[in-house]
Amino acid sequence: MTGSNLKIELEKLIGKNKVSSDIGDRLCFSRDVTPICYKWIDLYKLPPYICDVVVSPENTEDVIKIVQFAKKNKIKIFIYGGGSGVVGGVIPTEGGITIDMSRMSKVVILDEESLTIEVESGIIGQNLEDFLNKKNYTLRHFPQSIRSASVGGFIATKSTGQFSTKYGGIENYVTGLEVVLPDGNVLITSDKPRSSTGPDINNFFIGSEGIFGIITRAILKIYKMPEKVIYHCFIYEDIFSALDSIREIMQTGLKPPVIRLYNREESRQKFAKLGFDYDGCLMILCFEGNSELVDAESEVAQKICTKMKAKNIGDELGKLWFDNRFDTRHILEKEEEFGGVSDAIELAASWSKIKKLYADVESYFRKKQITLASHFSHAYTTGISVYNIFFLNVKDEEEAIKRFYAVWNDVMEIALNNDATISHHHGIGIIKKDKLREELNEGINILENLKEKLDPDNIINPDKLITKMI
């Protein structure tokens, strides 16, 4: 079916003002913030993948009609939440229909007794947070993409946030979902505090990157605004003793929402303009919640850090980090240069493996003479995530894309050799899927079988997450 026929047929189904074949819309909805999307701007006249039509459903019934139509006509569907993904999850690799979820952005129910909120999945994270703040509540899920990402995108990519060490990733928030399945049926999962009724169905969709269905509503946990928030900053001589401090903090049972550790290079690079003037690794620690608990946790944490010979430098840099936490200018300026590319590779490993992983990654970039800035964040009792930001500058955009993929491939190899995960929170998309089989082993067959059963014609978000083409 051609673009104009497709538009006419979809307009008949859901209404004229919900369908667009305008080239501007098609271009806007065919890109996210994956580095290769940027490189395509100057490399090609137009990007290699453009959807044929954009549809903007206003309710679940519209989504059902679109899915049933696509299934019947064997037209591919791609789902666009906020367009903030960094692994190409929205790229319409086979043309077809892109579903823009932005019109489904209503708050459905705020349950102040249970402390949950039901929302349509197209709501932008920050708009939800603002809504809650006005009523003295908070989600406390603060990914760096919060100002553009949708709740549906949070869930589909299994996102985490900057305050995750206390509140967990998005999987710790979701208590219920509404999903339009690839056959057009609607699944509504139960909203219970816990249930022993078989595997948690929500978890089939959290991190599914849209391949099992379209998330249309979600029920999420919320919190009361914290009574007290305090920051501590420490300087460590070496990164590994700082890591030992974090492990002890976590294994002692403390719950700092934020615990971030920057290596020497990133401490300087990121914080020099905020007044950082030390030769060492910066650790930022935050506690928040009930005032008495915060004071107690804070005291214990300070003792642990001091024991590890850390220098306490007060709270100022922590507060400045919070105020400047979206400032990624130094990364994006590199990307904007012709032939420039940078990206963040977010790995995670258990405590017994993290130091070797970090050393191997650092050694790789040093040998390749590629600039690297690393920090640790998102800590657990069992391990921690390490965020590796690399910067490349080569002769042109084509070479930049080649080198980008080569770096990703090599670092994922290093991760797998160290029994680390290749993605802590950005997801797989089209960038990492070739390595997913190596990490999941037999698990990938389960995902593929599930996809085949739910979506035998491979209609919804094809080419993402799993590699097997049905």
Partner 1 sequence: MNFDKKSLRQCIYCHNFCKFSCVPYLATKNQKIIQTQKNYLVYLVNENKVKPNAELGEAVYLCNDCRRCETYCIFEGKNVLPNNRYAKNLIFKNMLAPKKVYDIYNNLLNSGNFLGRETGQNEIRNFDKNKKYDFFIYPGDYVNMLAPGITKSFIEILGKLNKSFVLCDDDEVSDGVLALDLGMEELAGELMEKNFKKITQYKFDTLVVLNPHSYYCFINDYEKYGFKFNFEIIHYIDFLKRYIDNLKIKKTDDYVKYFDPCILSRGLKMNESPRNILGTLCNNQNFDLVKNRDESECCGGNLSLIFPDISRTISEGFLNELKSYDDKTEILITVCPLCLSNLSKAQNSDRFKIYDLIEYVSNNIV
Contacting positions for partner 1 (CB under 8 A): 20, 22-25, 27-29, 31, 33, 38, 41, 45-46, 56, 82-84, 100, 102-103, 105, 124-127, 130, 133-135, 144-148, 326-329, 332-333, 335-336
Q: How far apart are the first and last CA of the chain?
A: 21
The whole-angstrom separation of Cα 325 and Cα 144 is 8
Q: How far is the CB of 148 from partner 1 (least distance, A)?
A: 4
Residue 353: CB minimum distance to partner 1, A: 31
- Return d(Cα 343, Cα 341) in angstroms, integer: 7
CB of 285 to partner 1, least distance (A): 25
Residue number, 338 or 405, with CB nearest to partner 1 = 338
**Shortest Cβ 326–partner 1 spacing (Å):** 5
Shortest separation between residue 26's beta carbon and partner 1, angstroms? 10
Instruction: Tell me which amino acid residue 24 is.
Output: G
Distance, CA of 318 to CA of 15 (rounded, Å): 50
Round to whole Å and give the CA distance between 263 and 281.
5
To partner 1, the closest distance from the beta carbon of 469 in angstroms equals: 30
Which CB atom, from 83 or from 92, has the smaller least distance to partner 1?
83
Q: How many CB atoms lie within 10 A of CB 157?
A: 30
CA nearest neighbour of 461 among 125, 75, 158, 179: 75
224 - beta bridge partners?
137
φ/ψ of residue 328, rounded to 5: -110, 25
SS3 137: strand
Shortest distance (Å) from residue 125 CB to partner 1: 8
| Cβ closest to partner 1, residue 146 vs residue 466 | 146
> Between residues 23 and 406, which has the closer beta carbon with respect to partner 1?
23
16-37 per-residue burial string, b: 16 or more CB within 10 A, e: under 16: eebbbbeeebbeebbbbbbbbb
81 versus 383: smaller Cβ distance to partner 1: 81
| CB nearer partner 1, residue 335 or residue 448 | 335
- Output the smallest distance, CB 162 to partner 1, in A: 14
Which position has the token pair 């003295």? 136
Number of C-beta neighbours around residue 129 at 10 A: 19
Q: Which is nearer to partner 1, 20 or 121 (CB)?
A: 20
One-letter identity of residue 373? A
Q: Using CA atoms, how far apart are residues 295 and 229, in angstroms rounded to an integer?
A: 10
Tell me the H-state helices in 107-238.
125-134, 151-157, 164-167, 202-205
Least Å distance, CB 220 to partner 1, is 17
Structure tokens at 385: 């995530």
Output 29 or 391, the one with its CB closest to partner 1. 29
Nearer to partner 1, 329 or 366 (CB): 329
**Among 442, 433, 438, residue whose Cα is nearest residue 466:** 433
DSSP secondary structure, 1-46, as one string: --HHHHHHHHHHHH-GGGEE--HHHHHHTT--S-HHHHHHHHHSSS
Query: Closest approach of Cβ 14 to partner 1, in Å?
Result: 15
Whole-angstrom CA distances from 84 to 219, 239, 403, 418 are 21, 31, 23, 29
* Residue 405 Cα distances to 342, 412, 431, angstroms: 11, 11, 8
By C-beta, is 146 or 420 nearer to partner 1? 146
Nearest approach, Cβ of residue 250 and partner 1 (Å):
29
Rounded to whole angstroms, the Cα distance separating 394 from 464 reads 28
Give the span between the Cα atoms of 436 and 466, in whole angstroms: 7
Measured from the CB atom, the residue of 128 and 259 that comes closer to partner 1 is 128
Question: Quick one: 319 or 325, whose CB is closer to partner 1?
Answer: 325
Of 257, 258, 341, 249, which Cα lies nearest the Cα of 301? 249
Identify the sign of the CA torsion 348, 354, 356, 358: positive
Q: Smallest distance from the beta carbon of 352 to partner 1, in angstroms?
A: 34
